[in-house]
Chain A
Amino acid sequence: MTRLCAPYTSRGRGMRLILWRVVSSTVFKLIPSPAYTIRRAVLVAFGAQLDSTSRIRGGVRISEPWNLRMGRKSSIGEGATIWSHAPLTIGSRTVISQYCFVQCAAREVDQEYPKPIEIGDDVWIAAESVIVGGTKVPNGVLVGARSVVRDAIESWTIATGHPAKTRRERPYQGPKS
């Protein structure tokens, strides 16, 4: 039977996944928002590769932390949802704002399968945007609030809308990585 709205289920339901689901729905939720170090330590214990200067705020839901990599001084805002079913790489100085949805999965007619996402350096993904699986967000891109990123975007541009389209170049006074 074809289930059009079947939720993605992880293959290899190891002890790690079960343990993470228990921890993430209980203890992890209770860590106060500014306690970045504790939250980072929990995620690192579950195999996330996080730089010691990265920040993840409270209310962030991460489905599989062992797929998450974050560079220097990057941050994930309050209440973002990270479905890291596939490797998710976040570069340095990148900001993912509050209530964003990063979904490392893509859907075909009858099934959903994991697809990695790469987010470059100096990227800002503004509030409530959605990043669809399989996309690469190059360096310096500014994704406007409430955008849906599905297609390729050029680096150092501003992309907004649904679907996100490159609108103009991003003004930036600094070295472009």
Chain B
Amino acid sequence: MNSHEPNPNAVHLTTIAEPPRKSPWSMKAKILRLLWGVSEILLWKHSPVSLWGFRRALLRVFGAKIGKGVRIHPSVKVIIPWHIDLDDGVVVHERAILYALGQIKVGKNTEIGPLAHICAGTHDFTSPAFTLLRQPITIGSNCVIGIAGFVAPDVTLAEGTVLEPRCAIYMNTDPGTTYIGNPGKPVAASSVDAHVSTEAVAS
């Protein structure tokens, strides 16, 4: 075989395996994300912990829907604020990550624990283009996401779901059920009424 002759199969393979890189973000989104990134460094990160109202206002400026009495710690990482919708009394603890590439909707009096990762973004792993998918996450009311819980994209947590510490959940959950482990599995039914203490923390 003549080595100077290009191998048509090889060229074909390269073009399929490496489709051109296209940014999934529009120019407007890029500029807004840059603005949020700057305000996050200047205003959010170093704001005193007790200024809950200030951080609520800051998120609202960036288009987030924030209910009454929502408490978000300054060490929380919010990727895109205009994709989050937190209902009344939601608490987000230290160093939690709201990876809101898609919409993240959280119901009343839900508590998101420290180091939790709510990951509303994935890729289409079946295609070589590896397209970014921005899938929503819906978390019901009176849920508790324990320390370092992980919620995968396109998941709905039903009302009163409890995730034990370090639980990683990839499927929709049943109401009032406690989940444990990675991948998360139900432990036993827990009643929604048992989480009155959550409301006490949130108020």
Give A residues with C-beta under 8 Å from B.
32-33, 53, 72-73, 92-93, 95, 98-99, 122, 124, 126-128, 142, 144-147, 160-162, 170-175, 177
Note all chain B residues with C-beta closer than 8 A to A99: 97, 117
Is residue B37 within 8 Å, beta carbon to beta carbon, of the partner chain? yes
Q: Which of B59-67, B102-110, B126-134, B136-144 contacts A (4 or more CB under 8 A)?
A: B126-134
Q: How far is the CA of A173 from the CA of B122 in the complex (A)?
A: 17
Interface pairs (11), CB distance under 8 Å = A73-B21, A93-B128, A124-B123, A127-B99, A145-B168, A146-B182, A170-B125, A173-B128, A175-B13, A175-B16, A175-B17
User: Bound complex: CA of A145 vs CA of B37, how far in Å?
Assistant: 25
Known: A73-B21, A145-B119, A175-B16. A124 touches B128 (CB 8 A): no
Cα-based distance from A159 to B181 in the complex (angstroms): 16
Please state if A173 and B126 are interface contacts (CB–CB under 8 Å).
Answer: yes
In the complex, chain B residues whose CB is within 8 Å of the CB of A124? 123, 125, 130
Q: A174–B16 contact, CB under 8 A?
A: yes
Known: A146-B182, A173-B126, A173-B127. A93 touches B18 (CB 8 A): yes
Contact A161 B123 (CB under 8 A): no
Q: Is A95 in contact with B130, judged by CB distance below 8 angstroms?
A: yes
B residues in contact with A144, CB < 8 Å? 170
Min Cβ gap B167→A in Å is 9
Contact B17 A177 (CB under 8 A): yes
**CB of B152 within 8 Å of the partner chain:** yes
| B117 partner residues in chain A, CB cutoff 8 A | 99, 127-128, 146
Other contacts beyond A53-B21, A146-B182, A175-B13: 9, CB < 8 A = A95-B123, A145-B119, A145-B168, A160-B183, A162-B182, A170-B125, A174-B17, A175-B16, A175-B17
